[in-house]
A and B are shown apart, each in its own frame.
Chain A
Amino acid sequence: MNENMNITPMNSAQIRQQERFDRKGTAVAEKMLRQVRELSHMPETLEPFLKTLESIFSRREDALRPQGVPTVGTYCVMVPPELIYAQGAMPVKLCGGSYTAFGIGDDIAPRDACPLVKAVMGFEEIDAMPVYQNCSLMAVPVTCDCKKKLAGWLQERRPTAVLHVPANRDRDEDMERFVGELYRFSEQLEQMTGFSLTYGRLADACRMTADAQYQLSRFIDLRRKHSRIIRGSFSMAVMNALSYTWLPDWTKQLSDLNDELASLAKQKKTAAKENQPRILLTGSPVIFPNFKLPLLIESMGGLLAADETCMGERGFYDPPAIVDRTVDGMLRALSNRATRPCTCPTFADNLRRIYRIRQLIKDYRIQGVIYHVLRGCLVYDYEYRQLEEEMGKLGIPVIRVETDYNEEDVEQLRIRVEAFIELIKYGGKQE
């Protein structure tokens, strides 16, 4: 297995490809960040999050962390960060959002594979993203078909841990099987870092994530009570930055942001006007720098009030409910959290997602839903029909927006999003 260092010298074509990747990758990231910064009412305390994204995608540095801590690349929310932190490593969520990497991966992966997987394959080929390159271990939960094949593909190139996520979750033994997977994963982590899983370390890690989730709960609470306090694109930036930030740092940054928002709330300042339609974005994940859709929504006069995507709020929403303060009890809680409340459509029965969306609609007084489907993401596409029916019952307009990792369809999307927002403003459900 290639230990990811460039042993063979690159030929001129590869060098050119690398240079093109550097140029275009930086350009796209810079452009997205600039568009985020240009949005009105950006809180000052959002800057550290944007700086993280800048460092990873624009300057292509490695994730900032204490000396000597290895990184574990994770894909999907089912990999518990608590376990990785407990054994002395740092998790970085590597689901790919980069257009340039996608372009490279397009040649390697089958044509109809999802762009996320193509971007990851692009990262592997191009050898120019330290946050990807320097990972000592890749943890891939086997959820959808593309992730499954990605796991096999990565296994041939790097040390990979494969986690079998149960597709059925009505029986207790399904959840307990995942506990076994976590124990096996823990052994692989131990081989990598040398730290074994003890109660003290796991309790400390759980406390660390609990602090972070506490701040996230505050953030959500503020947005629920004062629904126009912050733009959705900024929230997306906050959640995306989590993937690459050392958790206590992220907690501190979010705590500062919460304090600023609380003071803004006291002064009754809002980021959007009352008549701006409140939109919920759900479906395939929105991963930086693919911020096309959130930016479009907010620049066309809407407010992205909430999102139900796994790189957004869902990526860190569910806390592990530790009922038994032992190692086994904590792992059980982590397994429970990864399987039961998860609204990933790769589970055979995903009715809870509809309820979740209904609750979000209630909490944030949502007026319209944009269903985001990445081209090639079959599982979200399957669920669209049922969601459309449910939204019909509630009288909330839904549109299905299919997009890919390139900038060619921005204009078409703009027209559709604009029309949708107009529809809500003048014809749809008015609050």
Chain B
Amino acid sequence: MDKLQNEIRTILEQVGQEHRGFPEVNWFLKTMEQAFSAETLISEKPSLIVLGEDIPRELALALSDHPRFILGGSLETTHWSDALLPRDADPVSRSACGWLLNEKFNLAENAIVIMALSSDNRRKLASLLRGKGIRVAAADMPPRHDTSEARDAWTAEMLRLADAVSAHTHIRLSAHRLKAAIRRREQVREAAIDFKNITWQATDSMSPALRDIIMESVWYAPDRKEWVYNLRNLTAQITAWVRQYYHQPDERPWVLLAGSPIVFPNEKLPNLLEASGLYLADRADAIALQTDIPCADAGHSVQRMLRRTADLRMRMETSGSWISNDGLLSAVQNRLEHLPVSGIIWHVLKGQIEYDFELPKVEALAAEYDVPVIRLETDYQQQDVEQLRIRLEAFAEMLRVRNQERIRIAQ
């Protein structure tokens, strides 16, 4: 438990210094610390736990006022589940399993866990958790996202989750609650997009790692309204700072980090990128891309709203559960179009083989934009940091040379 607290604290302290003195940042850091503190973990007994990022957040918030999201990001928690999972299970699943099954705290005591069966790991995790006595409601993700039967199936599965949760929490999923959650989610989305935009305008305002942690803190904030408020404040502070001071143009090459998700507190790669002199412009992974997905315009009935959500999400969502991860490709393409990206880092966590299958398509896409792609396979351990550093520094060097060539040719 102490190791976990150390892990969290170290990261938060480190990123806490990586900004130009915006007081609002402290609110976010405190929120994150609160969410992972020992007292919270031991005493908080949520009634709904959401495992993974692919259950729409608005649905979770409509079903319960304070759901706990477990995205699976801490190295320490992966050790706790070593005995239960096979050698090749990916670190996200290991971590998620560790969060729920350990001797130090029992998050799932009063809770029902909902998850989407988007990969092998999730399927077996569901059965493993059930075997250990945890209440689990699992939604089967259809593998195609373009047919109307798939959308009906997705909607039906979400309703199934809602039924299971309502039976447990005795809160019925009403159109009213769903509408309120959707509205809140839209506000979050707008605030997040504005925030990202301002950080692109002034890349030296804060490090990408801090920026992304602030974005990720929405999963853990107890009150999203407050989160939006604070984020708007922060955006205003940064805007004011941008106007006040002179900003040297950033010479660093901009890169995209795509593929397997980076989950707090696993900030190994963002830190490495920073150290290698690269600017992590944006992340195109399942967690970060949740911000991209618009919410359904509020409708009359739960059924209709969920159906509309299905239409929107299934086109854009990036998930290992699709046969071809078109959402991810289009997200990457979107960023290549709108941001001055010089390189793509294709991040594959050990065991998340679905991203390896997508790599050839991403390489082909990036070739059209003349952007090189580097594949980094890693997990949550710190042992390969040096090797990664060497590779990333070489990659950074190559990108710098290419950029300079391009500038020279343009002149």
**Which residues of B lie under 8 Å from residue A349 when comparing CB positions?**
126-127, 130
**Which residues of A lie under 8 Å from residue B357 when comparing CB positions?**
109-110, 113, 149, 152-153
Q: How far is the CB of A84 from chain B (nearest CB, A)?
A: 21
Q: Quick check: which of A74-82, A164-172, A276-284, A403-411 contacts chain B, the rest being far away?
A: A164-172
CB-CB nearest in chain A for B144? A162
Q: How far is the CB of A209 from chain B (nearest CB, A)?
A: 27
Q: Does A195 contact B (CB under 8 A)?
A: no
Report yes or no: B143 in contact with A378, Cβ–Cβ below 8 A. Answer: no
Q: Quick check: which of A123-131, A239-247, A260-268, A380-388 contacts chain B, the rest being far away?
A: A380-388
Contact of A348 among B85, B138, B150, B156 (CB under 8 A): B138
**Which residues of A lie under 8 Å from residue B144 when comparing CB positions?**
162, 164
- CB contacts under 8 Å to B, within A297-317, are none
Q: Does A413 contact B (CB under 8 A)?
A: no
Cβ proximity bits B340-377 to A, threshold 8 Å, 1 near / 0 not: 00000000001101101101000000000000000000
**Which residues of A lie under 8 Å from residue B84 when comparing CB positions?**
385
Q: Does A350 contact B (CB under 8 A)?
A: yes
Report yes or no: B88 in contact with A378, Cβ–Cβ below 8 A. Answer: yes
**Which residues of A lie under 8 Å from residue B354 when comparing CB positions?**
145, 148-149
Q: How far is the CB of A398 from chain B (nearest CB, A)?
A: 15
Q: How far is the CB of A169 from chain B (nearest CB, A)?
A: 9
Tell me the complex Cα distance, A152–B328, Å: 15
Tell me the complex Cα distance, A168–B87, Å: 25
- CB contacts under 8 Å to B, within A108-133, are 109-113
Cβ proximity bits B74-86 to A, threshold 8 Å, 1 near / 0 not: 0000000000111
Q: Does B42 contact A (CB under 8 A)?
A: no
Given A149-B354, A167-B117, A348-B138, A379–B123 Cβ distance below 8 Å?
Answer: yes
**Which residues of A lie under 8 Å from residue B142 when comparing CB positions?**
164
Report yes or no: B140 in contact with A167, Cβ–Cβ below 8 A. Answer: yes
Q: Does B384 contact A (CB under 8 A)?
A: no
Q: Does A16 contact B (CB under 8 A)?
A: no
CB-CB nearest in chain B for A173? B156
Tell me the complex Cα distance, A348–B138, Å: 8
Q: Does A146 contact B (CB under 8 A)?
A: yes
Q: Does B160 contact A (CB under 8 A)?
A: yes
Q: How far is the CB of A159 from chain B (nearest CB, A)?
A: 15
**Which residues of B lie under 8 Å from residue A184 when comparing CB positions?**
149
Report yes or no: A167 in contact with B156, Cβ–Cβ below 8 A. Answer: no
Report yes or no: B353 in contact with A112, Cβ–Cβ below 8 A. Answer: yes
- Of the candidates B127, B138, B320, B356, the one having the most CB atoms from chain A within 10 angstroms of its own CB is B127
**Which residues of A lie under 8 Å from residue B359 when comparing CB positions?**
110
Report yes or no: B131 in contact with A386, Cβ–Cβ below 8 A. Answer: yes
Report yes or no: A378 in contact with B351, Cβ–Cβ below 8 A. Answer: yes
Q: Does B89 contact A (CB under 8 A)?
A: yes
Q: Does A185 contact B (CB under 8 A)?
A: no
Contact of B86 among A152, A153, A346, A378 (CB under 8 A): A378
Q: Does B297 contact A (CB under 8 A)?
A: no
Q: Does B247 contact A (CB under 8 A)?
A: no
Report yes or no: A162 in contact with B143, Cβ–Cβ below 8 A. Answer: yes
Report yes or no: A350 in contact with B353, Cβ–Cβ below 8 A. Answer: no
Tell me the complex Cα distance, A142–B117, Å: 13
Q: How far is the CB of B133 from chain A (nearest CB, A)?
A: 14
Report yes or no: A348 in contact with B88, Cβ–Cβ below 8 A. Answer: no
Tell me the complex Cα distance, A95–B138, Å: 29
Tell me the complex Cα distance, A312–B382, Å: 43
Contact of A382 among B85, B138, B140, B150 (CB under 8 A): B85
Report yes or no: B153 in contact with A151, Cβ–Cβ below 8 A. Answer: no
Tell me the complex Cα distance, A45–B163, Å: 56
Given A152-B324, A167-B117, A146–B353 Cβ distance below 8 Å?
Answer: yes
User: Can you name 5 extra interface pairs (CB under 8 A) apart from A148-B323, A168-B140?
Assistant: A149-B323, A155-B323, A162-B143, A184-B149, A382-B86
Q: Which residues of A contact B (CB under 8 A)?
A: 109-113, 142, 144-146, 148-149, 151-153, 155, 162, 164, 166-168, 171, 173-174, 177, 180, 184, 345-350, 376, 378-379, 381-386
Offer 23 A-B interface pairs, CB within 8 angstroms, sorted by A. Answer: A110-B356, A111-B356, A113-B353, A144-B120, A148-B143, A148-B321, A149-B357, A151-B143, A162-B144, A164-B144, A168-B138, A173-B156, A177-B153, A184-B149, A348-B126, A349-B130, A376-B353, A378-B121, A378-B124, A379-B124, A381-B87, A384-B86, A385-B86
